[in-house]
Copies of this chain bind each other. A is one copy, B any other.
Amino acid sequence: MTSLSGVWAASLTPVTPALDPDPDRLLAHVARLLADGCDGIVLFGTTGEATSFSVAERTDLLDRLIGAGADPARLIVGVGCAAAVDTVTLTRSAAAHGVAGVLMLPPFYYKAVSDDDLAAAYGWIFDQIGADAPAVLLYNIPQVSGVKLSASLAGRLAGEYPDVVRGLKDSSGDLESLRGFLAAMPGTAVFAGTELLLVPGLAEGAVGAISAAANINAGHIRTAFESKAAADIDVLREARAILSAEAVIPALKAVVAQRLDDPGWAIVRPPLRPLAPEIGAGLAAALPVA
């Protein structure tokens, strides 16, 4: 199995003009990202608009992708839903394919929940999955999910479920937060959730980065991973600054559409809206050469 470390792309999920998941475009995208220097691919993260698809659409797309030849050992699959029962369904589906791991948001609708509530929710999910549990990475992205995972909760879950909780993705964007998780769950695979914290994160024990920008910037991120040099982050920072002028998921899709001369790639699902082609062209022209 591929080790849970290195440079992983939080893949976009292409859709057809009817907004259906597009396994052909996705398969080609996954192959490009691996060729560009990614160690693996995270499907159905926040960047992949995971929560904008039904459970059936998600399991079906994974089936098709792997059926068409994608290597499950190079895939981590996002499985976290508002409903813990849906998280169980998606985790079982991913486990049956032998993927490298799953990325698990906490149930994210209710916001006034305590660490004890979240520990019980994760515990219930793990109990339901049972002996077939794949490697679970907890997923902290409070600015989107609205539910923050504390370092003490992550440490507690890693201690109570050492064969299940094998790491965490911290997308808070905050180095102090990343340090807290590294201290709380030693020996597990803690990923920075942004390439901008890849080099400082590696210096403190993170195993790598799971990056949205890797969809358009994988080569530069690979270079930074190999060199571990702070100077190699500058080009990544420049790219992020350009992308952040727009909503990042539509911006990333628009840039892929421009680079491939494939306008359909720019389509997003509601509640996101696609960028106008001329905006995408401007972004693609401004970005550092990939």
Contacts and interface: CB of A to CB of B under 8 A. Distances in A.
B109 A270 contact: no
Interface in A234-280: 247, 269-273
B84 A270 contact: yes
B111 A143 contact: yes
A117 interface: yes
A52 B111 CA distance: 13
Interface string A42-61: 00001000011111010000
A107 interface: yes
Interface string A104-128: 0011111111001110110011000
B271 A53 contact: no
Copies, count: 2
B54 A109 contact: no
Given A108-B109, A111-B143, A273 B85 contact: no
B146 A110 contact: no
A63 interface: no
A271 B113 contact: yes
Nearest to A269: B84
A126 to B, nearest CB: 11
A54 B86 contact: yes
A273 B120 contact: yes
Nearest to A109: B51
A96 interface: no
Given A111-B143, A144-B109, A85 B271 contact: no
A89 to B, nearest CB: 7
A145 interface: yes
A68 interface: no
24 contacts: A51-B82, A51-B83, A51-B107, A52-B83, A53-B85, A54-B85, A81-B82, A82-B82, A84-B270, A106-B271, A107-B270, A109-B145, A110-B271, A113-B272, A116-B273, A117-B270, A117-B272, A117-B273, A118-B271, A121-B270, A121-B271, A124-B270, A125-B270, A146-B146
Given A52-B84, A117-B273, A120-B271, 11 more contacts: A51-B82, A52-B83, A52-B107, A54-B86, A84-B270, A108-B109, A111-B144, A111-B146, A117-B271, A121-B271, A124-B270
